[in-house]
Amino acid sequence: MRLSLNRLGMVWGRIGQQRGKVEYTLSPYEQNPYAGVLGDVTYRYYSRLFKTILTFWVPNILLGYSIYSWANWEHDRCVRKLPSQFADEKPPEEEAGNEQK
């Protein structure tokens, strides 16, 4: 006779008896899910948040803004015409109708 899982009482989804396994549970009525929300948890959360902001976000924002402002300043400097570069040129002649006497 061939032994099968069905004959041994083992069916898919039904676990057989186990020895030495201990389960501890707590009734949902005994649990307090909001314990410590307004105490240590909020302090630790905000302290970690501010630490992250001060150590990661602020330096990156300052660095990005300084690079942005430097690039704008450098662009304006490179586009600007320097009067010393055009000192040897003659000024444009005035039109015939706008002569001053």
Per-residue pLDDT tens over the stretch 67-97: 999 999 999 999 888 878 778 887 777 665 5
pLDDT for 98 equals 60
pLDDT for 101 equals 53
Residue spans of the domains in the chain: they are 56-81
pLDDT for 7 equals 63
Q: Which residue has the tokens 């003659």?
A: 90
**Across the chain, which distance is largest between two alpha carbons, in Å?**
131
Q: What is the pLDDT of residues 11-60, one digit of tens each?
A: 777 777 778 888 888 888 888 877 777 777 788 888 999 999 999 999 99
- Give the Cα separation of 5 and 78 in Å (integer): 84
Residues whose CB falls within 8 Å of the CB of residue 16, separated by 6 or more in sequence, listed in order: 8, 9, 10
Are the beta carbons of 63 and 70 closer than 8 angstroms? Answer: no
Residues whose CB falls within 8 Å of the CB of residue 5, separated by 6 or more in sequence, listed in order: 11
